[in-house]
Amino acid sequence: MSETRTALHYASGQWTNGPDVVMEAWHNTDSAPSETVLRQRLEYEELFEVGDRYNGGFAAWAREDSPRYVLAVGDDHLTEYIYPATLPDLYDLAARWSPLVRDQALLRFLKDIQASERHMEPYEADVLTNIGRRIAQGTQETYERRG
């Protein structure tokens, strides 16, 4: 007898365990389909992707049947599928996690600048370093809306 796979489900700010529809379908196939093929077989459409899934990003999927929404977090063998109950739940999680994805991308950008400074002319390095500092400072500031 096979064991039922479970995943996190999210509804109105509460986490519970429930069936992992995506992984269950993957384990019940004769072949090992790509995630895209599996998503299509389950009739999920990608709504949006935030960041690079190899570096903390995630993708949001939707379909007509239940469970209607999925967040695919991570990539390859480290992928986790999370099931928000409603569209507001999906956007609640996306809003909470998007700043982490953005900050991770900015840190990678700053590290890339730092690593490439050794091969640049001094004025090029100064310009890129100043851009990186302004971006990093902007992630910690809040701005008033104008207009």
Ordered by start, the domain boundaries in the chain are 6-96, 98-138
The tokens for 54 are: 């190899």
Helix (H, G, I), strand (E, B) or coil at 17: strand
Percent of the chain with pLDDT over 90: 44
Mean pLDDT to the nearest integer, 32-38:
86
The tokens for 25 are: 């379908």
pTM of the shown model: 0.74
Mean pLDDT to the nearest integer, 113-138:
65
- 69, 9, 24: which is closest to 43 by C-alpha? 69
pLDDT reported for residue 59: 94
Query: Is it the case that residue 115 has pLDDT exceeding 90?
Result: no
> Binning pLDDT at 50, 70 and 90, where does residue 74 land?
confident
Mean pLDDT to the nearest integer, 100-128:
72
pLDDT reported for residue 19: 96
How far apart (Å, rounded) are the C-alpha atoms in residues 24 and 78?
15
Mean pLDDT to the nearest integer, 28-41:
86
The tokens for 127 are: 């310009």
Could you tell me if residue 63 is left (phi over 0), alpha (psi between -120 and 50 degrees) or otherwise beta?
beta
